[in-house]
Amino acid sequence: MPATRQSSRGRTPSGQPNPIDVYVGARLRMRRSLLGMSQEALGAALGLTFQQVQKYERGANRIGASRLFDLARALGVGIDYFYEEIGEDVVAASPRHMVRAIQEPELRQPDMMGNRETLDLVRAYYRINDPEVRKRVHQLAKALGTIPSHLAE
C-alpha cells in the first residue's frame, strides 16, 4: 500500500508558502499601500500586530476566511479583490493540487502593481477630485500607452 502524504497545510513540496497565499498577501499589501495605510494602522484596526500583517503580506501565514472578511472591510474592497487577475499558474498551485505535487510551482508576485512608481501614480490619480478631469487623464494614459516606443522618443 502506498504511503499517503501528510497534509502540508497548503504549502509547496519544499515547505514554501503556497503561491495562492503569496498572491493574496501581495494583493493585501498593494491595497494597503494604495490607501497609504501602514502595517501598524491596519494591524491596529484589526487587533493584530504589524508583524502579523507582514506575515500575511508575504504569504508566510495563511489568511483564514473570517480574517479575509475583516481585511476586506478594513481596506474597503470585496473579498473577490484578493483573487482578481490571478494567473492560471497560481491557480494550479491550489492546495488540492499540491497533495500530489512533486514539482515546485513558480512563485509569482503581481507584476506592475507592486512597483512604487505605479502606486504613486494611482494615488495621484485618485487625488484628482474632478471626475471629468480624472476621466481625461485616464484616456490620455491609455492613448500614450498605445504609442510604439520608437515613435515616443
Per-residue pLDDT tens for 87-97? 887 877 776 66
Per-residue pLDDT, averaged over 114-139, amounts to 82
**Residue pointed to by grid coordinates 497565499:** 21
Query: What are phi and psi for residue 17, nearest 5 degrees?
Result: -60, 145
pTM score, whole prediction:
0.65
Which grid coordinates belong to 110?
503581481
pLDDT tens-digit map of 22-65 = 999 999 999 998 888 999 999 999 999 999 999 999 999 999 99
Confidence of residue 7 (pLDDT cuts 50, 70, 90): very low
Of residues 89, 112, 113, the one with CA closest to residue 18 = 89
The CA-atom distances, in angstroms, between 53 and each of 60, 104, 145 are 10, 26, 35
- pLDDT of 78 strictly over 70: yes
> What per-residue confidence (pLDDT) applies to 124?
83
Q: What are the b/e assignments for 108-147, b being 16+ CB within 10 Å?
A: eebeebeeeeebeeeeeeeeeeeeeeeeeeeeeeeeeeee
Which grid coordinates belong to 118?
505605479
